Structure 1
Amino acid sequence: MDEDQLLACYYLLNTSKSRKRERWVHELMAVREKEDFKILFPHLVKDPKKFFNYFRMSHETFEELLAAIEPSITKQDTNMRNCITAKEKLAVTLR
């Protein structure tokens, strides 16, 4: 390589516009596997941007959709187990 090529490579490497990440993994995603849905969902509700990124809809839209389909997807708890809530079913389906 001649001197001009070296200077061009140096310039390109040192002037690249790479943005520095604030954090590698969002704290909600870091604890996702450790925490239950009942704990994660309220955190998402508190942060509208994260909620939208997670479900691709606003919390208000989520609640409207849930109200519309809840009667048809709700099951009854039994002595053997508790059923999955309609909110959890919708969240898993959307996710």
Structure 2
Amino acid sequence: MKKITTLAVSLLTAACMSAGALAADQPLEKVAPFPKAEKGMKRQVIQLPQQQDESALKVELMIGQTLEVDCNHHRLGGNWKVKPWKAGAMITMSLRS
């Protein structure tokens, strides 16, 4: 009985690990088919776990930089550029400073 339990746990673990590896091996265009980042920009994809009632949840993005500065207050200044993508179903956002 111990051998069967150990085998079942091993197979379950291997299946979970291979599913995660397959998701990680997919190119970014398949995971998030959005426009490529412009020159000098870096594209970020945020993957969140699926929830039952996603309309009741919010995602807060804290955009910034990590800098060593010699002052008490330092801010990341710039303007947000928001563009619709795919007939307004989604948007792309970029910060120009």
Normalising by the residue count of structure 2, what TM-score does the alignment of the two structures yield? 0.29
- Quick check: which one's strand share is greater? 2
Higher relative contact order, structure no. (Cα contacts within 8 Å, ≥ 6 residues apart): 1
Q: Which of structures 1 and 2 has the bigger CA Rg?
A: 1
Normalising by the residue count of structure 1, what TM-score does the alignment of the two structures yield? 0.29
